Structure 1
């Protein structure tokens, strides 16, 4: 069993996870193989259990944000098993640990987290990778875990790998022939970062909600609209149906809106316009920074 670092956790796993950074220390969570059945869940009945089956992959039991038990189907592709574990399964575990987990990617801009939130295929990974190529460090791809306590929400980094569509990888200067598929039958390729991965948590300051349109523009959105988008793009929300989890989730969304700036980022679907999109975001954040400086001066 090896230990790895991801999502601000030390994860000890019987399944090797080459996507993650190896680590040492007492494990915060353990991943192991074993039989999953109702009897297993009953033995750990504490209101913090999830038992589920993912078609063509296997059965999973997630207990109290500390343990994942996997029972994969015979002959299942190991890369596919890792993809499921590092995605939807760990999302449930992170939610059990009290984090708000969004469908978003996040970069480091001046020691502040800037996230791009949206559904699959909306360009989250492409934008984050483009910023990485532009010299910015990145924190997460596709899974954005946020700790919301008192004060500023904090983003926990994931692991140094992005999942890209081949055409996006090519437009970003990558040789797709040297990149392996994320898993068997996957259309996306795995791009492992050799540099520029932000390994320590950062405060989250901005969330851009991605949208498609006929022009590039950034518009401020109202709290009610931001709330709808947060609920729409929360990971693991359909798996955690107990009333206490739903109530806590709505509370976390409300708290995030109080402390983070939300904008809608509408773009024309064109990979050739990536430099323009990066400049648009940089200029938008620079304007926000200037307004804040003026505000502090007046105070």
Structure 2
């Protein structure tokens, strides 16, 4: 097969794509392709009677405005493939080894719409298929290490990372933070040079909701381009130095503040903040449990309580930086 014309590096993997993927940095070539991405194509083995070869694996309990599940996932051909279909009819096929992705979308949507799924849930699942444990987090480079900022949806992970970016720190990843164990270190793999932000976060950081461009014509979420002047994208992996978990915001005058998470609660806290943890089979879950147990033995874990007032976001960064430097000096 002749390689498609676009090569990329993302999440520690080399990609080959038949279309240019918005937001990714094109490479001249790569020595080995880990994942092949094919837009507007289906696997030859599934060209016909796809409905006869599938069984439902998982259905989102959330529904869209048309009362359709946000996403439905099937296993096809006795587990050889996974099929994802979103409520808007965007569709992905993934092979069981996480080496090939096929994507299709309806005429009322765009490539940019499809890429928002591809670079989020789809690659999060591909990494899990390949045995990579991923935190639902943002990752920031501080000196020669990285920190991971965790928390549930809406906790402010991306907003906090963007505040660090404004302060001159390089960003490794947003939303998905893959962790690989190498030479007695846990390395955070870089993603791609964008941060995704809701309009409320854009307004808090830049003064106006439309200060940053929209990700797609059909969605109001926006993105910070880390390739523009004054911003930095960390292109190489860095050791994981500290993990910070964001808790509920408070109006307490003492906020923002942080506290150490006891080791007996640490594993539960980490597992509840991994990516795609509702889609794991027994083997994936065992891999996750084993790696996170070792992470906890080496990497400090902190709970951070932000202030409810978004104007205090720079103070939140200062609290995290102060703690990071204290821990680094004690090593």
Fold conserved between structures, TM > 0.5: yes
1:178 is displaced (CA, Å) by 5.2
- Mapped to 1, the partners of 2:20 and 2:89 lie a distance apart of 17
Aligned residue for 2:237? 201
| Aligned equivalents of 1:68, 1:220: Cα separation in 2 | 41
User: Where does residue 284 of structure 1 map in the other structure?
Assistant: 323
Structure 1, unmatched stretches of 5+, are 293-299
Q: Give the stretch that moved more between structures: 260-269 or 10-19.
A: 10-19
Structure 2 runs not aligned, ≥5 long: 55-74
The separation in 2 between residues aligned to 1:78 and 1:4, in whole angstroms, is 17
Cα RMSD after superposing both structures: 2.1
Aligned to 1:12: 16
In structure 1, C-alpha distance between the alignment counterparts of 2:276 and 2:318, rounded to whole Å: 33
Checking the alignment, whether the CA contact within 8 Å between 2:22 and 2:115 is kept in structure 1 is no
8 A contact 1:100–1:148 mirrored in 2: no
| Farther-moved stretch of structure 1 (145-154 vs 77-86) | 145-154
Which deviates the most, 254-263 or 142-151? 142-151
Q: TM-score, normalised by structure 2?
A: 0.80
**Deviation (angstroms), 1:185:** 4.2
1:3 offset after TM fit, Å?
A: 1.4
- Give the corresponding residue for 1:108: 141
Give the TM-score normalised by structure 1: 0.89
1:77 to 107, 110, 127: 110
Give the corresponding residue for 1:228.
268
In 2: Cα distance, 1:18 partner to 1:76 partner:
15
Match of 1:162 in 2: 195
Name the count of aligned residue pairs: 288
Matched, 1:91 2:150: no
Q: Is the 8 A contact 1:29 1:66 kept in 2?
A: yes
| Matched residue, 2:246 | 210
Q: Determine the structure 1 residue equivalent to 2:94.
A: 62
Could you say which structure has the greater relative contact order, defined with CA pairs below 8 angstroms and 6 or more residues apart?
1
CA drift of 1:95 comes to 1.2
User: What is the CA-CA distance between 1:170 and the residue it aligns to?
Assistant: 3.3
Distance (whole Å) between structure 2 residues aligned to residue 249 and residue 57 of structure 1: 31
- Equivalent of residue 33 in structure 2, options 27, 36, 41: 27
SS state of the match for residue 175, structure 2?
coil
Once residues 139 and 111 of structure 1 are traced to their aligned partners in structure 2, the CA distance between those partners, rounded to angstroms, is 12
Q: Which residue does the alignment assign to 1:296?
A: none
- What secondary structure, in the 3-state scheme, does the structure 1 residue paired with 2:102 have? strand
1:51 pairs, out of 73, 83, 87, with: 83
> Relative to 1, partners in 2 of residues 1:18 and 1:52: Cα closer, same or farther, differing over 3 Å?
closer
CA distance in 2, matches of 1:93, 1:170: 33
